Structures are given as C-alpha cells and as structure tokens.
Amino acid sequence: MSDETSSATVAPAPAAEPAMDSGELGRAAAPASSGEATHGLSDTLSATARGDGATIQDKVVEALTTVFDPEIPVNIYELGLVYDVDVSSDNEVTVTMTLTTPNCPVAGSLPGEVQDKIAAIEGVRKAHVNLVWEPAWTPERMSEAAKLELGWL
C-alpha cells in the first residue's frame, strides 16, 4: 500500500434530486464525458491474467471488479458505474465514477471503498475518486456480462 495520501471528490447532486452531503469527500468533481462506457469482463480478465506483465491500469480495473453495490449482484465496473480510469506517468490513479442514483444508500461509503482498493495496489502512488452525476447512469451502460447476470438478456 502507498504511503501517499488518497482523496475522493463528489459532485453535487443534480437540482432535480436532493443534494448529497459530500462530508469528507471533498470538492466537486468535473463531469465525465458523455460517451458511453464499454466494459467487458472477459477483456478485463484477459488483460489482468498476464500476471507480472499487468499494468497499473489493468490492476485497477481488476480491483474495481471486486467492488459491489450491496443491492446488486454485479461489480461496479460491469455495471458501467466507472466512467474513466486515468493513470498518470507518476502512477497517480484517478477513477471517475457515478452511482445508479444520487440517493444511493452507499453514496457515502462506496467511493471510499474504491479509493482504498486502488491505494492498496502495489505501485500506486496516490488514489483519487471523482464521483460525478453527469452523465447520469442508465442500464445501457452495463456490459453484456452484467445484463446476463441480472437476467436482462
């Protein structure tokens, strides 16, 4: 685990929804791009199955597949809640993600869990999580593996 600090940020909830108390999550994050996320569990596993040759990004994605919303039996990566994983040249990792709704019961804890999992990866110097609400999550962001797991295919 890194000795460096980690941080999580949260964007304010949209005006149509009750605002989430950001508490210790910090300042507001910039919105993610509006492009649809594409995830595939088989792609993730094949990239990380290389063992020693796996990149920090591969290891982050693998760690994200171990984080679950307790109400949904699919990991956050396959659910399409992760919009971006950015690894800087000095191994600072920033994950931009959302939740299924701003009123999600784990809104206060899930970003911290993601941050802790990233910070525990060998080679990661700093871990940051930006929680955003735009673009809003929709079921179309789920991978085929997630839809299959939930019986939607």
Domain assignment of residue 82, yes or no: yes
What's 118's domain CATH number? 3.30.300.130
Please state the φ and ψ torsions of residue 94, each to the nearest 5 degrees.
-120, 125
Range of the domain at 127: 6-149
pLDDT band for 71, please (50, 70, 90 cuts): confident
- For the ranges 3-17, 65-79, 106-120, the lowest mean pLDDT is seen at 3-17
Q: Higher-confidence residue: 41 or 52?
A: 52
Domain assignment of residue 1, yes or no: no
What percent of the chain lies above the pLDDT cut of 90? 56
- 22-31 CB contacts, 8 Å cutoff, 24+ apart: 23/108, 25/108, 25/111, 25/112, 25/131, 29/96, 29/130, 29/131, 29/132, 30/130, 30/132, 31/132, 31/133, 31/134, 31/135
Q: Higher-confidence residue: 81 or 39?
A: 81
DSSP conformation class of 100: S
Q: What is the three-class DSSP state of 89?
A: coil
Domain assignment of residue 63, yes or no: yes
Residue 15's pLDDT is what?
Answer: 41
Domain assignment of residue 61, yes or no: yes
pTM of the model: 0.68
Total count of domains within the chain: 1
Residue 20's pLDDT is what?
Answer: 32
Query: Is residue 95 predicted with pLDDT exceeding 90?
Result: yes
